[in-house]
Amino acid sequence: MRINEVELSWFRGAADPISLDLGCKSMVVYGENGSGKSSFVDAVEYALRGGKIGHLCHEYSGKHQEKAVINTHTPEGSSIGVRIGFQGGSELKTEIKRNGSFVSAGGEAARISTWEYQRTILRQDELANFIRETKGDKYSALLPLLGLHEMEVAAENLRQLAKAVEQQAKLKETKASLTAIDVKRKATFGAATGGEIAKRIQDLHAKYCEPTAATTDLLSQCDETEAALTARIKRFSAEEKQHLVLVDISGSELGAHVKAVRAAGLKLAGEVEPLVSERLEVLESAATFSDRLGVEEQIVCPACGQRISADEFRAHVKREKVRLQKTIDAFNILKQARAKLYDTLKTLKSNLQKTDIKSWREDAARKSLDDGFAYADKLDAEKLRTSCGEDGLKSIEDNLLPIIRAASSAARTGPADVSQLSADKDVIAACKALADRKEISGAVKSAETLISFLSDVEQAVRDNIRLRSKQVIGDISEDIRGMWGILHPDEKIEGIRLYLPEQTDKAIDIGLSFFGVKQDSPRLTLSEGHRNSLGLCIFLAMAKREAAADRPLILDDVVVSFDRGHRGMIVELLEKEFKERQIIIMTHDREWYAELRQQLDSASWKFKALRPYERPDIGIRWSDKEFSFDDARALLKTSPDSAGNTARKIMDIELSLHAEGMKVRLPYLHRERNDHRMAHDFLSQLISDGVKCFKKMENGKPAPFTEAVETFREADRLVLSWGNKASHSFDIVATEAAKLITACEKMLQVLTCPSCGKAVHRLEDKGAELVQCQCGHLKWLYSKA
């Protein structure tokens, strides 16, 4: 789909409606800096990105772009907007309101929104973007070209599903409970085998249960024994019940848990802990948010409405997580230690508040523990779960450890059978936990198998993606090498290729050979100019992949850092690779513009020049000629010498190209002076040759074109006097500069045929020496001279 026309109304630099009339052809637009070229590019970007222009800084894009998109001097009541006409007559019309919101109408909104910006528009400052981007960003940029969207979505869903299984199976918690059961088994049974444990349970069953109970199933034996023990405890005297609670208290491992929290706390500097905690919390939320994002999705920044690539966001979260991994591990250990301390304190507090030990607490002999009891009663264990500094740990030790010691001491002197009964109860509890262990272990293994399966299927899909990516990337690399070869023939930068780094998913990088030495990145050795050139090749190679879509390519001032030799090769590249595509080139380089006018086929290319920008209320304006002295005219009032000097420079460029096209032979000069010919050199030769060679058809016969030669003479006279004056002595006045400009303009005009509109030049296909305009009305007849 080609663009027929882009019309701007008070959009960016435009004032009253101004149209870039492409007529579905390719076009080169010349305009000096600030003349408004990029406003047309912005308009296309605005349409294809649904109201966003990437180069506008963050705060002036998205919801606040009314400050940047609308002409600052838009009169009240004026209609603001962009209209893009397409081949076949359809159009997309966007009306922009004063507050920056917009409404689009026309059937092409959906179609243009499918144009990838990265494969449609290339701006000067974006040339090396691809090279600068991270490997992940490079992958994201190429992803739509790989045609692997479905696989990417599937792989991502599989990854998320594995995580969801882990969460739903409560894998971490369940595994932690398995570890706790193992610890309990070791503490209760030591290294006893399953048979030995079973024997112990049978013995306890026989000890506490009625002899009539003939249960042989181990788990049932545990249940029956537990019930018998509970019944006995219920029948305990107050003294026995008190003793039982004291045994429980004495078994508390509070001291060990306090030490564990202290040790873990040392790993994290106390002063940075809140900061780390806060940061991890933010990171955790960001990671959860990032996990929920889909492939190629974009995130809307809640602060300003700017859209950010989801991949960019994910990569950032991943980097942060890796960076903080050690801290995360240390922090988790501390959290676990605190959780254990919290559980122990909770149990201890509950035991201390039991009425069974009320009299023990109130005993006068334990007066010294009153502060500890008061501390325990007021203790908010929940608070300690999240934060507990050294002071808190010290208080716990000072207040509660003496109570545990006192309870241990009292427990030692209690009734022996109560202690035994308590120990037996523990054995039964540990055995029942072991029974649960098998079931828990089975569930863990099942969940782990499922997760492993999902992860392996994800990996298989990613391997598939990799395999197919390699093929596409290989094709693109071949195109890049071909294009680079056109722009840089015989240069020792070779073997340029995109490649998938080993062991990394969703990543692409660029490799090359620099004077025979392999390089992993162009950044290592390439100059800025070469990087930009490579950036252009990569952009064009990617754009070529979408050749079937026949979308326009827009190159906005992309040759700034190219030297003349490399710049000249771009035409060859475009003609070879993109002959069928619509290309829009914006440039402020007058010399290149003139070259392009000479080199590109006018059947498929149009050329337009913009006038220098004067004021926002006048806006962007077209020059009425392809070659334009408007830049010079714009300076007449304020700086006549600059106007004269600009006119002379324009003549240097235009005449060198005309002379080349007409094969004008200049006398040989000493060495490098041959490369620095000026307008006067060309004019002198044109005057000398023109008298004999320049003819125009009159009554079917070529007749000397003497008026033309007169314009050469007049231009040469004024260039020599006032042009050089403007360049060297700066005392030219406005009227003189104006006369110089008019003379130069007139001189160049006569080289263009009034009938066919083409300049006199050598016709390649009509014999080496035939120099004329396209229709033959004007001729430059060397052979007959």
Partner 1 sequence: MPEEESWAVRCIEKVHESQPEVNETVVNRLRDLLVGQMCERPFRPSELVNTAKTLITDMATDSSHKAVSPHED
The residues of the shown chain that bind partner 1, judged by CB under 8 A, are: 150-151, 153-154, 156-158, 160-161, 163-165, 167-169, 193-194, 197-198, 218-219, 292-295, 297, 434-439, 441-443, 445-447, 449-450, 452-454, 456-457, 460-461, 464
The conformational region for residue 757 under phi > 0 = left, psi -120 to 50 = alpha, else beta, is left
Instruction: Tell me how far, at minimum, the Cβ of 437 lies from partner 1, in Å.
Output: 8
In three-state secondary structure terms, 498 is strand
Q: By the 8 A CB rule, do 483 and 573 touch?
A: yes
Between residues 109 and 440, which has the closer beta carbon with respect to partner 1? 440
Between residues 23 and 294, which has the closer beta carbon with respect to partner 1? 294
Q: By the 8 A CB rule, do 82 and 11 touch?
A: yes
Between residues 70 and 222, which has the closer beta carbon with respect to partner 1? 222
Phi, psi values for residue 121, rounded to 5°: -120, 135
Between residues 53 and 169, which has the closer beta carbon with respect to partner 1? 169
Distance of CA 545 to the CA centre of its chain: 21
What's the chain's Rg over C-alpha atoms? 43
Instruction: Tell me how far, at minimum, the Cβ of 187 lies from partner 1, in Å.
Output: 18
Instruction: Tell me how far, at minimum, the Cβ of 526 lies from partner 1, in Å.
Output: 38
Closest CA to 516 of 536, 489, 537, 491: 491
Between residues 436 and 520, which has the closer beta carbon with respect to partner 1? 436
Instruction: Tell me how far, at minimum, the Cβ of 302 lies from partner 1, in Å.
Output: 19
Between residues 462 and 597, which has the closer beta carbon with respect to partner 1? 462
In three-state secondary structure terms, 440 is helix
Cα(603)–Cα(580) distance, rounded to whole angstroms? 12
Instruction: Tell me how far, at minimum, the Cβ of 283 lies from partner 1, in Å.
Output: 19
Instruction: Tell me how far, at minimum, the Cβ of 379 lies from partner 1, in Å.
Output: 37
Cα(220)–Cα(234) distance, rounded to whole angstroms? 21
Question: Strand (E) positions, 221-324?
Answer: 298-300, 307-309
Cα(668)–Cα(681) distance, rounded to whole angstroms? 11
DSSP tally for the chain: helices H, then strands E: 28, 20
Between residues 446 and 735, which has the closer beta carbon with respect to partner 1? 446
Residue 465, class by beta-carbon neighbours within 10 Å (0-12 exposed, 13-18 middle, 19+ buried)? buried
Between residues 151 and 233, which has the closer beta carbon with respect to partner 1? 151
Instruction: Tell me how far, at minimum, the Cβ of 466 lies from partner 1, in Å.
Output: 13
Q: By the 8 A CB rule, do 7 and 590 touch?
A: no
Q: Let me know the angle formed at the C-alpha of 503 by 500 and 505, rounded to the nearest 5 degrees.
A: 60
Between residues 254 and 310, which has the closer beta carbon with respect to partner 1? 310
Q: By the 8 A CB rule, do 499 and 91 touch?
A: no
Please, what sign has the CA dihedral across residues 111, 113, 114, 120?
Answer: positive
Length of the chain measured in residues? 785
Instruction: Tell me how far, at minimum, the Cβ of 549 lies from partner 1, in Å.
Output: 21
Instruction: Tell me how far, at minimum, the Cβ of 294 lies from partner 1, in Å.
Output: 3
Between residues 158 and 496, which has the closer beta carbon with respect to partner 1? 158
Closest CA to 51 of 41, 65, 34, 67: 65
Instruction: Tell me how far, at minimum, the Cβ of 305 lies from partner 1, in Å.
Output: 22
